[in-house]
Structure 1
């Protein structure tokens, strides 16, 4: 039986981490999970998927949430826990996969088959990518990057052991602006192959 491979990718907005994850999933012929995780969790329930997408990877809104005897009415928090349970179940099943975000490196911190990656990028490269992708001017793109990264950091830091982007929480951290998307994916691919050779 082929050894299980799990690649968790945390990323700065605009760094191309999502695209790198897709490339790695194709290279290793494994499942790719991002927002489609909701489609898998709630298959056949399209309306539920649409509603929950608004709360996915979002910090808890403390004004509209409360906790009583260990239970919370926060949709953000409940959805986060459901996704963490889903990730753990997939890992325990022996499935190989790439997962984008969702604190997966922390959820699977003690899983020896999980390769934990963080992708960052230079501001100029991120701005260029976001301006082109969303048809925004530089000021709008800069605001979007800042808003998304702040939201990701707050979400991640609530549920994770290490701080978002702190190298201590990952096996490998790369700046995609140095080599570009394809070559950054190749570096990660080679790292995984070399690491697995030693096991």
Structure 2
């Protein structure tokens, strides 16, 4: 009953505010609430009571506030906006009307460095994982961002270190051909029985590509725990999430036509060649990421921030990312 009385009182204040704003503006657009007072109060109260329809109340309030901001007389505008703010605070204090139930995922927030800069311990590091579509200049953005932040950048270097680790673990140091031609995307390997048996023994029953991935995962975790760095691709976002290591995950992409033009410029390809190349590389990136992570590559909710690099260019994209990083600093 107490809440019902609050709903009715607030509904009356909203109705009166709408009338006062209309008088001050004198707009031909008319009032937000044109029905009879009694019916309008009942409807507004019901919206607050039912809660699932609170977005309707938010829309009505937005109409009133939008109109109030057009009042030319500063004193009247200030009075109307003050009343609006007070009503809004009252509404937000009510249980589950709107704005009182957050969408936050506590587990993701705990790993999101951008949301927890002030809570970072000396053991935490600024680790940025960047996934990107081919031709979106993701690598250029990652490299220049690392240079700007003065932190380490890892791309093919990760693979180099993983291969060296595997190389050192081999029994026969002369047998190097199995590593030099490794293709992380190609899982359809055609090898003779002798080669398969040799790899089976060396990698404890794992396929070479799987052994490389697991060793690479260990290295990524080691890097993230000891230094600030940017890691390009390599499923680093999911690897760190699964190991509960704080990081920021970004996905950089651009429209296909823009990416095709970029590839034509940097690789001196024709449009047909660039198109085939992009489709092939996107397919390989997706196949590799989804096989090893079980997540959807490029799906927005899997990342902290998705950026269309074509809307900004390399320099401005870096600026957007840095602003996100610095907002909590």
Looking at structure 2, the residues matched to 32 and 89 of structure 1 have their Cα atoms a distance apart, in angstroms, of: 14
Residue 111 in structure 1 maps to residue 232 in structure 2: no
Relative to structure 1, the CA distance from residue 142 to residue 26 in structure 2 (aligned partners, 3 Å threshold; closer, same or farther) is same
Relative contact order higher in (CA < 8 Å, ≥ 6 apart): 1
More helix by share: 2
1:120-199 to structure 2, matched below 5 A, reads: 120-194=253-327, 196-197=328-329
Q: Measure, in 2, the Cα distance between the counterparts of 1:193 and 1:86.
A: 28
Distance in 2 (CA, whole Å) between partners of 1:171 and 1:147 is 26
Deviation (angstroms), 1:52:
3.7
CA contact (8 A) 1:59 1:154 kept: no
2:149 aligns with 28
Decide which of 234, 242, 246 is 1:102's aligned counterpart: 234
Structure with more of its chain in strand, by fraction: 1
| CA distance 1:157–1:138, change in 2 (3 Å) | same
How many residues end up aligned between the 2 structures?
191
Change (3 A) 1:184 1:82: same
Q: Deviations over 1:121-160 (max 9, x none)?
A: 1112111111111111000000000000100100000111
- Larger radius of gyration between Structure 1 and Structure 2: 2
Q: Distance in 2 between matches of 1:169 and 1:50?
A: 37
Q: Indicate yes or no: 2:117 matched with 1:6.
A: no
- What is the distance in 2 between the residues matched to 1:48 and 1:134? 34
CA 1:178/1:87 → structure 2, altered by over 3 Å: closer, same or farther?
same
Point out where structure 1 has 5 or more consecutive residues left out of the alignment. Answer: none
Residues 174/52 of structure 1: CA separation in 2 closer, same or farther (3 Å cut)? farther
The 1:57/1:170 distance shift into structure 2, 3 A limit, reads farther
2:172 maps to 1:39? no
The alpha-carbon deviation at position 57 of structure 1 amounts to 3.3
Structure 1 residue aligned with 2:103: none
Instruction: Give the conservation status (yes or no) of the 8 Å contact 1:33–1:100.
Output: yes
CA contact under 8 A between 1:106 and 1:161: conserved in structure 2?
no
Instruction: For residue 213 of structure 2, give the secondary structure of its aligned residue in structure 1.
Output: helix
Normalised to the residue count of structure 2, the TM-score between the two structures is 0.53
Contact 1:56-1:80 within 8 A present in 2 as well: no
Compute the TM-score of the two structures, normalised by the length of structure 1: 0.84
